Every structure is written in C-alpha cells, then in structure tokens.
Amino acid sequence: MNNVSSQVKALNLFHRQQSKNRVSHAYLIVGDYGTLDFSKYMAMSMMCCEQDIGACGSCLTCQRINNENHADFRILSGKEQSIKKSEIIDLKEYFSQSSIETSGHQVYIIEDVDNATVEAMNSLLKFLEEPEGDIVAILTTRNENRVLETIRSRCLTIHLESMNHQMLFDVACEQGIDPIDAYLLSRMNQNSEELNHQINDDVYREASSIFFDVLESLNQRDYLSAILTLQVEGIKKKRLDRERLVLLFELFELSFSLQGQHEQTIQVQTNRITNEDRIHLLQIVLSLKDRIRPGVNINLIIDQFAYELTKYYQNL
C-alpha cells in the first residue's frame, strides 16, 4: 500500500465523501499504476473498525481485506485473462446474500475492468443499474475510454496521478532495487510494473552489465579497456544484439546527461568524467544511436563507437 499516500487529490476527494456520508455505490479508478492498492484502501476505509474516515490499516478488518480473505470483500481481476460473464453472475449471486459480517458495507473490486468481455460488461451494467443495500463497486482501468460509456456514467471517476521519476525511484528503492539501477530504470519506465519487468529481463541485465564495465573504464579515463570490453562482449561473445545495443546507448545517454536530483546515486561511477567529456561522449552516443535501424550491422556500430572513443581521448 506504499503508493496510496502519494495520491493526495484522490484521497481528499474520497475522504470528503466519507465525511459527508456520501459514499458512491460505484467508483471507476483510473491510473497507470497503484489502482488496486488504492481500491483496497477505499474498501478498508469503508469497513475499518477503528476509523470513520480513512483506514487504520492495522485492525483485523483492514488486514483481512489487504489479504483478500474478508467475507464481505471480493476481487475479480482482468489482469491475466478476460473477465467472463459467468464471473460477474457468480459475484452478483454472492452479494445477493445478506451481509455475512457486521462491517456495514460489502465491497467488490474489478481490476482492469476494460479486459472484460462484452457479455461480462453488459452483465456488470445490470448489476450497477440495480445497486442493493450497501454494496459498493470499485472498478479499475488504465484507459477509461475502453470502458463502456454506460458503465462510466454510473460510476464516480477518480483519476490517480501518474508516477513521476522521483516517486518511481523511491518505490524501486523501497523494493530493494540497487539505487543505481533504480535511478536508471526510473528514467526509462512509466510505472512500477514496467520497471520490475525490465530489471528482471535478460536484455537489461546483459546490457547493463556491459554498460557498468565500460562506464567504470571511462571514469578511470582508460578508454582502451572500455573499447576492449565492447569488442569482446559485443562482437566476440555476441552479447549485443540490436535491442541490447539500443538500451546500452540509452544507459550511456542517461549517465552522461545526468540531470535530476539523484545524480549522487551514480556519481561514484562518473566522478572523474569532466563536463567536457560528458558533452562529447553524449554527442557520440546520440549520433550512433540514431544510426541503429532494422537490419543494421551491429558490429559496425560497435566498431564505430570504439573509433570515436579512440579519436576523442587521443586528441585530449
């Protein structure tokens, strides 16, 4: 639930509703990340035993909702596969029973509702058109335009703020990702899901391994070792295909431009690279990156990189 507190506007809107006893019977939560966490927080807030507004997060009810084992709380997810009509019908039948516990509300979340079949959406629409008692629906999506207009019109829409680089960096560090990787990946991805996918991807692992070796050599102004690494790893061992080479240049681009408040996270790797070096190295990287096209000879690009490094450092 680490991302919820950063959604100040969305929290204020929901808390105001709670304070006025005007909780809607249906919500549509729109955002690139954190929609499920925010939806769970809303469910906790409506059922928390300790607080009237917001959720304590620690009472038995909150813990059970967070662990998804509360009798008055259900989640359907379209994250991995489409939501079927039968699942909506089963959900409706489940909540047609009397409240099993004494929470005052029954809440269901449909994650990635836009990934429901047409039949499922039509069935959901009927469910929303006939709200029963204190049943609250919380639907989530990244793209509200993919949700039926008739469903949207029956929901109060809450937009979550996009994750900026600072937030993404902080979340990555909280997850135990090395600060250097967190810095680089937070500049190349839009949300935690993408970042976590990339850091576990072979493309990033292999490209970043070569990147750090070359960067360390350049920081020591040992351009010959940098070139040797590129030629051995990239050409002889064939560890750099087109995708990995593009990523390698993107990593160099980030390290040589080094703008932003987290420069200190990788300054040890670049503390001996002068501003003049940065400018020239960035120009080399951008020029070569633009030449990477489908069908390009990767070895020629690597050789050209080695040539440009040699020419620059020999002329110092």
- pLDDT by residue (tens digit) across 293-303? 888 999 999 99
194 CB-near residues (< 8 Å, 6+ apart): none
CATH number for the region 4-162 comes to 3.40.50.300
Q: CA–CA separation, 133 vs 141, rounded Å? A: 25
Q: What are phi and psi of 6, to 5 degrees?
A: -80, -15
Q: Which pLDDT does position 268 carry in this prediction?
A: 67
Location of structure tokens 């989640």: 75
Q: CA–CA separation, 112 vs 174, rounded Å? A: 25
DSSP 252-268: HHHHHH--STTGGGTHH
Q: What is the pLDDT of residues 146-203, one digit of tens each?
A: 999 999 999 999 999 877 888 889 889 999 999 999 999 999 988 887 899 999 999 9
- Structure token digits, residue 282: 């960035």
Q: Which pLDDT does position 19 carry in this prediction?
A: 92
Q: CA–CA separation, 130 vs 13, rounded Å? A: 25
- Does the pLDDT at position 204 exceed 90? yes
